[in-house]
Structure 1
Amino acid sequence: MSLLRSFVACFFLAPTAEACDLALALAVDVSGSVDSNEYRIQMDGLAAGLRDPIVSEALVRGNARLMLVQWTGASRQKVTIPWTHMDSFEAIDSFARQVAADARVWRNFSTAIGEALETTMSSFSEVTECKRHLIDISGDGVSNEGVEPSEIHDVLRGKGVTVNAIAIEESEPDLTAYFFENVIVGEGAFVVSAAGFEDYPARIRKKLLREVTQQTAGLK
């Protein structure tokens, strides 16, 4: 364990719990508006965020489960990395490597946010032992195909699934407002704005910090 991780463990985080605190599904937008470079920025940024010392410490101490989903148009959502137990820093490093190396499944399709949420939501039946069920969805556009995301909010609430979002406002400056009104759901749900894909790595790191530590003060 690094000196920084040891410091975090001693002074900022609660003692290790045996139960799973968090099941976190990472849903990444691979629709046609995302080019190959932007896809790479997302995956590398997400991998780096997971390796952040405070994020990784919280995931291990919470016995978290992580899963990666790629999504785009209707009927095109796929779990590319199944639920994985974050029971050690080695497990986190391995998961982060898989994220960075994850091959893109689709290109040049529409944006079906509602179906992405439905597909991801169904996977939580595999991690019922976890206290919190959370979908972390990224996107750079509004839903333009399939079921509207707001139409499944009642189902998400009923299943106890919270949805947070990161709005990548590369070409749609009002996307944060759209996500706030139509996508996020659940107690404490929030949207983080990225001005563009270059801003994504820093914003996803702050988003992960907020999600895995439940410390919301000062994070914007």
Structure 2
Amino acid sequence: MRWCVSIGAVLFAGAMAGGDVASIAAPNTARQLTETTDSRPAVDIELILAVDVSYSMDMDELAIQREGYAQAIVSKEFLQALKTLPNGKVSVTYFEWAASSDQKIIIPWRLIDGPETADAVADEIMKTPVRRASRTSISGAIYFAMPLFDQDPYHGLRRVIDISGDGPNNNGAPVTGARDEALSKGITINGLPIMVKEPSYSTMDIDNLDYYYEDCVIGGPGSFVVSIKDREKFKEAIRTKLVLEVAGRTPERRVIPVAEKEPRVSCLIGEKIWQDRWGR
């Protein structure tokens, strides 16, 4: 089952700040591989952070996004969630994406097992210059992400791709095919749709981007969406999402289960807008 939650409506960061990570819903059991023949060192989760840097994101948003991930990784809520895990360890890689052929790894696989390693990863994220690029290919990001798990020097009990973006897929293969291939490999996809601006024709934004992410992008046991509709809550949303992912939990309050039905927003809406505008 998939879940969605708006950061504007669900403000449980205060509970987490007090260390009450257990107040979030019970852990999901996705890919709980307690026995494995894999010889790599074990971590509780292999987490890929796939971050949109398309031109529809303004420079301020890109900077806040970078800072949000860096601050989330060193936050007491994140480190508290880490302590609750059986191994107390996660492996993380961070890449930026735009068009189907444009992905750039910012942070190769890194182990986070406490404050010192968290600080090192956060510093790496902040040292790389912010960039922007053309087009939006969520499918390209998913296809790029999948083989990265094979390159991880650590073996996780769960594998998660965390995708943030402010628009629908408009380049490369359809997003649903990429999503379904990832799910067939036991990978969970979570989403962070960024909706802090009014939809604009010039940037190919759409109404209800959260619905699009819920119905067309995310999937896998315990998958969920945390939507950002308030610029002031940008960093809080990123922190909330990472804490939930690391803890292996889904949001508890005011959560709406997403039914398995026809998408409320066409999963090809981005491609259609591009075709209508540019004829290709």
TM-score (norm 2): 0.68
Give distance in 1, aligned partners of 2:123 and 2:207.
Answer: 32
CA contact (8 A) 1:210 1:219 kept: no
Judged with a 3 Å threshold, the aligned counterparts in structure 2 of structure 1 residues 198 and 102 are, in CA distance, closer, same or farther, namely farther
Residues 219, 138 of structure 1: CA spacing in aligned structure 2 closer, same or farther, 3 A cutoff? farther
Q: Partner letter of residue 205 of structure 1?
A: R
Q: Aligned-pair distance for 1:99?
A: 1.4
Instruction: State whether residues 68 and 81 of structure 1, in contact with CA within 8 Å, keep that contact through their aligned partners in structure 2.
Output: yes
Please state how far the C-alpha of 1:194 moved relative to its aligned partner: 0.4
Instruction: Tell me which amino acid in the other structure corresponds to 2:70.
Output: A
Q: Quick check: 1:111–1:141 contact (8 Å CA) kept in 2?
A: yes
Aligned-pair distance for 1:205? 1.1
CA distance in 2, matches of 1:108, 1:49: 25
User: Which of residues 195, 217, 237 in structure 2 aligns to 1:183?
Assistant: 217
In the TM superposition, structure 1's runs of 4+ consecutive aligned residues that sit over 4 Å from their partners are none
54-63 or 24-33, which deviates more = 54-63
Shift in Å, 1:208:
1.2
Identity of aligned residues (%): 34
| RMSD value, Cα | 2.3
Instruction: Report the Cα distance in structure 1 between the residues aligned to 2:82 and 2:235, rounded to whole angstroms.
Output: 19
Would you say the 8 A contact 2:53–2:96 is kept in 1? yes
Closer, same or farther: CA 218–102 of 1 in aligned 2, 3 Å = farther
1:121 aligns with 2:146: yes
Cα distance in 2 for partners of 1:114, 1:20 equals 27
**Matched residues in 1 for 2:249 and 2:156: separation?**
19
Structure ranking higher on relative contact order (CA contacts 8 Å, 6+ apart): 2
Structure 2 counterpart of 1:4:
none
Q: C-alpha offsets along residues 181-209 of structure 1, whole Å, 9 cap, x if unaligned?
A: 11101111111110144431111111112
CA distance in 1, matches of 2:180, 2:192: 21
Counterpart AA for 2:150: S
CA deviations on 1:160-182 (whole Å, 9 max, x unpaired) are 11100001112344100001111
Residues in 2 aligned to 1:194 and 1:155: alpha-carbon distance in whole angstroms: 27
Structure 1 residue 219, shift from structure 2 partner: 7.7
Maintained 8 Å contact 2:43/2:155 = yes
The TM-score normalised by the length of structure 1 is 0.86
The equivalences for 1:162-173 within 5 A come to 162-169=188-195, 170=197, 171=199, 172-173=206-207
The CA distance in 2 between the partners of 1:160 and 1:126, in whole Å, is 16
Contact 2:222 2:249 in 1 (8 A): no
**In structure 2, how many angstroms separate the alpha carbons of the residues matched to 1:197 and 1:117?**
26
Distance 1:26 1:71 in 2: 10
Residue pairs, 1:1-220, within 5 angstroms: 8=19, 19-59=42-82, 62-105=88-131, 107-127=132-152, 129-169=155-195, 170=197, 171=199, 172-216=206-250, 217-218=252-253
CA contact (8 A) 2:135 2:171 kept: yes
Change (3 A) 1:144 1:69: same
Query: What are the ranges of 5 or more consecutive residues in structure 1 without an aligned counterpart?
Result: 1-6, 13-17
